[in-house]
């Protein structure tokens, strides 16, 4: 996106991990940004306040505290602002919590998304970006995972809600003609990531001298993707001419659990203590993104290795602990 084409961009979930980084990029690019976030208590809401603290200094930024399930709030956004682009990141995240509370995940991720899609119909919106997930692939045996693979066999409520989100996006694209891109994120990590996510949690526990939960035999693997690479992919989608498209955004280099633990321990100069546990229900054996479509259409090219990414994350963690350690204790 070029600065000469300033647009009103709505980012739902914009005070969260991915959303706040996207807004960093959009504000630096001179865009007009409206952030909608309910600052829920999935983790300490003050973390989200901290995430967006620098955004409040920009005259082209506006924060709206609200819930995507509140049709009145959502409709008023499209009435009050000539929103041209929507990046829909707001969601209940995480596989394991979705199994414990499926009703909430259905309400937010499906009903909330439907309210947003309905509200944009007949508005000024010219582009809609939906945050999907590698979880839609379930226990896919074919690697790497391609956007053309069958994703009908979900093994968690979270994956099911994201698959349903993609289905609704296609339906609304078909009915309204609004271009929509669905981005399947693969295990995003980096500064500001949620405290319960593996890399953040492992770093925190190792710093405290505590054992880290080690599921299975360490052979499960994830396609860990650094936040800057994910933002590059989203920005590519914003400027694409797709009518409807699904994209994998990953690093395309899976990392096994035992290797991840080793890299974090090496960066911290701490020998990890392991608390061996069974692999939880709903967890997949592996994720591995085929990113050839994103490379060819979006000029997507992930650059950050797991070693470099962990180094950057720990630098951020140590800095933020000095000034706001009470939020991550």
Segment 142-152, tens digit of pLDDT: 999 999 999 99
Instruction: Determine the Cα–Cα distance for residues 210 and 6; give it in Å rounded to an integer.
Output: 49
Contact 43, 195 (CB under 8 A): yes
User: Measured between alpha carbons, how far is residue 31 from residues 17, 36, 239, 271, 282 in Å?
Assistant: 19, 16, 13, 45, 39
Residue 2 lies in a domain: no
**C-alpha count within 13 angstroms, C-beta hemisphere, residue 104:** 13
Whether pLDDT at 2 is above 70 = no
**Does residue 1 lie within any of the structural domains?**
no
The pLDDT of residue 3: 40
**Residue 258 pLDDT class (50, 70, 90 cuts):** very high
Q: Please indicate, yes or no, if residue 121 is contained in any of the structural domains.
A: yes
The secondary structure of 95-107, three-state, reads: HHHHHHCHHHHHH
Question: What is residue 278's DSSP assignment?
Answer: P
Task: Please check the confidence at residue 4 and state whether its pLDDT lies above 60.
Answer: no
What are phi and psi for residue 200, nearest 5 degrees?
Answer: -65, -50
Give 26-74 pLDDT, tens digit per residue.
Answer: 999 999 999 999 999 999 999 999 999 999 999 999 999 999 999 999 9
Query: Within a domain: residue 139?
Result: yes
- Domain limits at 191? 8-327
Residue 290 lies in a domain: yes
Report the percentage of the chain scoring pLDDT > 70: 98
Contacts of 95 (CB under 8 A, 6+ apart): 135, 156, 158, 159, 282, 283
Please count the structural domains in the chain.
1
Partner residues linked to 180 by β-bridges: 128, 244
The gap from C-alpha 80 to its chain's centroid, in whole angstroms, comes to 27
Residue 109 inside a domain? The answer is yes
Q: Over the range 177-190, which residues count as b (16 or more CB within 10 Å of their CB) and which as e?
A: ebbbbbbbbbbbbb
- pLDDT grade, residue 122 (50/70/90)? confident
Rounded CA separation 114/168 (Å): 7
pLDDT tens string 182-222: 999 999 999 999 999 999 999 999 999 999 999 989 999 99
Known catalytic membership, residue 158: yes
What is the mean predicted confidence (pLDDT) over 11-15? Answer: 98
Three-class SS of residue 55? helix
Please state the pTM of the whole predicted model. 0.96
- Give the distance from CA 198 to its chain's centroid: 14
**pLDDT tens-digit profile of 271-306?**
999 999 998 877 888 999 999 999 999 999 999 999
Asked whether residue 310 is domain-assigned, the answer is yes
Q: What is the pLDDT of residue 6?
A: 66
pLDDT in tens, 102-121: 999 999 999 999 999 999 99
The CATH number given to whatever domain includes residue 83 is 3.40.50.720
What SS3 state is found at 30?
coil
User: CB-hemisphere CA count at 13 Å for 166?
Assistant: 25
- Active-site residue identified among 158, 189, 300, 317: 158
pLDDT, one tens digit per residue, over 74-88 is: 999 999 999 999 999
Please indicate, yes or no, if residue 171 is contained in any of the structural domains: yes
């Amino acid at each position: 996106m070029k600065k000469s084409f300033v647009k009103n961009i709505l980012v739902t979930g914009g005070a969260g991990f991915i959303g706040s980084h996207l807004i960093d990029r959009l504000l630096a690019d001179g865009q007009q940004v409206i952030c909608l976030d309910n600052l829920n208590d999935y983790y300490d809401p003050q973390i989200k306040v901290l995430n967006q603290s620098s955004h409040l200094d920009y005259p082209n930024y506006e924060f709206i505290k609200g819930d995507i399930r509140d049709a009145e709030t959502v409709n008023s956004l499209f009435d009050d602002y000539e929103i041209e682009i929507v990046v829909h990141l707001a969601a209940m995240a995480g596989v394991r919590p979705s199994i414990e509370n499926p009703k909430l995940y259905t309400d937010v991720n499906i009903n909330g998304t439907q309210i947003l899609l309905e509200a944009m119909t007949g508005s000024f919106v010219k582009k809609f970006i939906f945050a999907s997930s590698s979880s839609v692939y379930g226990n896919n045996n074919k690697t790497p995972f391609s956007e053309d693979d069958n994703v009908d066999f979900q093994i968690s409520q979270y994956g099911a809600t994201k698959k349903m989100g993609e289905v609704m996006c296609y339906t609304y694209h078909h009915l309204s003609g609004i271009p929509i891109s669905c981005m399947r994120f693969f295990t995003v990590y980096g500064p500001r990531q949620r405290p319960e996510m593996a890399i953040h949690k492992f770093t925190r526990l190792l710093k405290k001298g505590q054992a880290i939960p080690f599921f299975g035999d360490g052979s499960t693997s994830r396609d860990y993707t650094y936040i800057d690479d994910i933002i590059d992919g989203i920005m590519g989608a914003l400027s694409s001419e797709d009518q409807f498209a699904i994209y994998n955004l990953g690093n395309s280099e899976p990392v096994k659990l035992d290797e991840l633990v080793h890299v974090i321990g090496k960066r911290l100069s701490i020998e990890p203590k392991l608390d061996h546990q069974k692999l939880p229900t709903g967890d997949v054996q592996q994720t591995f993104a085929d990113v050839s479509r994103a490379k060819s259409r979006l000029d997507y090219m992930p650059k950050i290795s797991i070693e470099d990414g962990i180094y950057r994350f720990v630098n951020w963690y140590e800095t933020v602990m000095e000034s706001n350690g009470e939020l991550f204790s």
